Amino acid sequence: MDPIKLIEEAIKAEELARERYKNGAAIAEDPETRSMFEQLAKWEEGHKHMLAERLATLKMMKGS
């Protein structure tokens, strides 16, 4: 598989995971579980950001 396509798919997966964790935080009844889901959502956002940076670099390299 092409690394660019793989990263694009990974970004989508991170977005879905982030939304799932945000939904978990919204329905969590206790503060500790809510906090855990919020932290997980933040981690997924960080993963997405890291992937997006690498994707931009690869696309720029491919364009040159």
pLDDT of 47 reads 98
Q: Is the dihedral of CA 28, 32, 33, 37 positive or negative?
A: positive
What is the structure's pLDDT at 63? 86
φ/ψ bin of 63: left (φ > 0), alpha (ψ from -120 to 50), beta (otherwise): alpha
> Tell me, what's the pLDDT at 60?
95
Q: Which whole-number Å values give the CA distances from 8 to 28, 34, 35, 52, in the listed order? A: 30, 29, 28, 8
Q: Each residue of 8-55: pLDDT tens digit?
A: 999 999 999 999 999 999 999 999 999 999 999 999 999 999 999 999
Q: Domain-by-domain residue ranges, the chain? A: 3-63
For residue 64, name the pLDDT band (cuts at 50, 70, 90).
low
